[in-house]
Amino acid sequence: MKLIIGGFVLAAIAGALWARRRYVVVTVEGMSMAPTLTDGDRVLVRRRRIDQVSTGDVVVLEPPLGHAEPRGNGPLWNIKRAVALPGDPVPPGIEGGAGRVPEGALVVVGDNGDGSVDSRQRGFFSADRLLGVALRRLGGPAL
């Protein structure tokens, strides 16, 4: 009996560690993604690399270097919509953009138009700073 319980506990711990490496919960601060997401919403994010992101995905990433605000309890994450990926044409109005999105970069914008600081002001965001793709608002529908 002890062996079965011990095996169950080990499996539960392994499952929790696996989930923690693949998923993270992020709390939205601000209104840059309104009406899709609003201040205080919590979203489930699946860790992803740039080659696992599709145009239109809601992504979580750190702001470009030089634009990050200091934060005592970890990185400041931005949540935005991916509108162009490496090799895609650069959308009009993107600072520093012409031609195609370079490898290792993406173009992101907030759903709240002028209420968002995004690629329109900051240019390309680095794929190295990508946390993942938001899957769903906790307690709400899929994104």
Pick the CATH number of 24-137 from 2.40.170.20, 1.10.600.10, 3.30.365.10, 2.10.109.10: 2.10.109.10
Ramachandran class of 120: left when φ > 0, alpha when ψ lies in -120 to 50, beta otherwise: alpha
- In terms of Cα–Cα distance, which of 131, 116, 126, 125 is closest to 25? 131
Return all residues near 75 (Cβ < 8 A) that are at least 6 apart.
Answer: 62, 68
- List residues with catalytic annotation: 32, 80
In this predicted model, what pLDDT tens digit does every residue of 20-57 receive, in sequence order?
A: 668 999 999 999 999 999 999 999 999 999 999 999 99
Q: What percent of the chain has pLDDT over 70?
A: 76
Whole-model pTM: value is: 0.81
Residue type, 79: I
